[in-house]
Amino acid sequence: MMNKVWLITGSSRGLGRSLAESVLEKGDIVVATARKPEQLKDLKTKFGDRILTLKLDVTDPNEVKSVVTEVISQLGRIDVLVNNAGYGFFGAVEEQSEADIRSQIETNLFGVIYVTKEVLPYMRKARSGSILQVSSVGGRGAVPGISAYHAAKFGVEGFSESLAQEILPLGIKLTIIEPGGFATDWAGSSMDYATPISDYAETLGLLKTYLQKNTPPGDPKKAALAMIQVVESENPPLRLALGKDAVELIRRGEKSKSEELEKWLSLSLSTDRDGSLTVFDTDTAKLFK
């Protein structure tokens, strides 16, 4: 079996770096990308020509295009794409400027879209490939204080759930990775904060204290090994939660959504035209698995 070529965004630190190291230790080839590729020097020294380090800011579509072109010209293919780059922004909606919000969406959602769109034609031609979209438990449920982050991650989930169904018939598999809290710089030096408005202090305080005072339970090395296992699996899941906290939060969220749906059912069902068919009475029902 040929070694796989992995393209990983945001490889300088945290989950991306851990994944790059674990994939290299396993023997595959990694294109490690970072805004400051000099941060990857030690990996280059250790792993030599099995790692290609390239500069990539995922918010720059021209840079995305030239990185993908460079990888194809040097290595001929991309077998695994990991859209990992991202950061959090803390603040109530009113506290965030439009620029803060755009920057969250640009990095955490459009970054994923730009890189995915650029890589897809090569995977489609090859009729194979794996894509991991690093979303978050915050792509499944929301808490007060990081609304723009949630907006971006919910966006990644919808974009990816739809895309996964378009590309599976072409031999390309996609999994959305949903980490809970992991011990990286995400809640530390990478997190940006808005200027607070005192009226929101109490509502946002719980999350702020949690993020600033707790060491997250997740181990980035173990997350990396789980992601490798997903790529090696014959039938990977559409979504994979990582960590006990992620599993519990998703469980609670799904339960409360389902309870609310049932509680308001008669009002929800009251709005159809009398005697009308629904999509579930037609062949189109196949769309909704």
Ligand X SMILES: NC(=O)c1ccc[n+]([C@@H]2O[C@H](COP(=O)([O-])OP(=O)(O)OC[C@H]3O[C@@H](n4cnc5c(N)ncnc54)[C@H](OP(=O)(O)O)[C@@H]3O)[C@@H](O)[C@H]2O)c1
What is the CA 25 to chain-centroid distance, rounded? Answer: 23
Nearer to ligand X, 58 or 172 (CB): 58
Query: At its nearest, how many Å lie between ligand X and the CB of residue 139?
Result: 8
Residue pair 215/184 in contact (Cβ under 8 Å)? The answer is no
Taking alpha carbons only, the member of 90, 283, 50 closest to residue 186 is 90
Nearer to ligand X, 126 or 238 (CB): 238
Q: How far apart are CA 127 and CA 168, in angstroms?
A: 9
CA atoms within 13 A on the CB side of 176: 23
Query: At its nearest, how many Å lie between ligand X and the CB of residue 262?
Result: 30
Residue pair 80/7 in contact (Cβ under 8 Å)? The answer is yes
Nearer to ligand X, 36 or 286 (CB): 36
Binding site for ligand X (CB under 6 A): 9-10, 12-16, 34-36, 56-59, 84-87, 107, 111, 134, 136, 179, 181-182, 184-186, 190, 216
Query: At its nearest, how many Å lie between ligand X and the CB of residue 96?
Result: 17
What residue is closest to ligand X based on CB? 14
- The dihedral through the CA atoms of 25, 118, 12, 96 has a sign that is negative
Residue pair 194/99 in contact (Cβ under 8 Å)? The answer is no
Q: How far apart are CA 211 and CA 191, in angstroms?
A: 10
Q: Any idea which residues carry the catalytic annotation?
A: 135, 149, 153
Q: How far apart are CA 152 and CA 7, in angstroms?
A: 21
Nearer to ligand X, 4 or 17 (CB): 17
Q: How far apart are CA 130 and CA 81, in angstroms?
A: 6
Nearer to ligand X, 13 or 221 (CB): 13
Query: At its nearest, how many Å lie between ligand X and the CB of residue 89?
Result: 11
Query: At its nearest, how many Å lie between ligand X and the CB of residue 9?
Result: 6
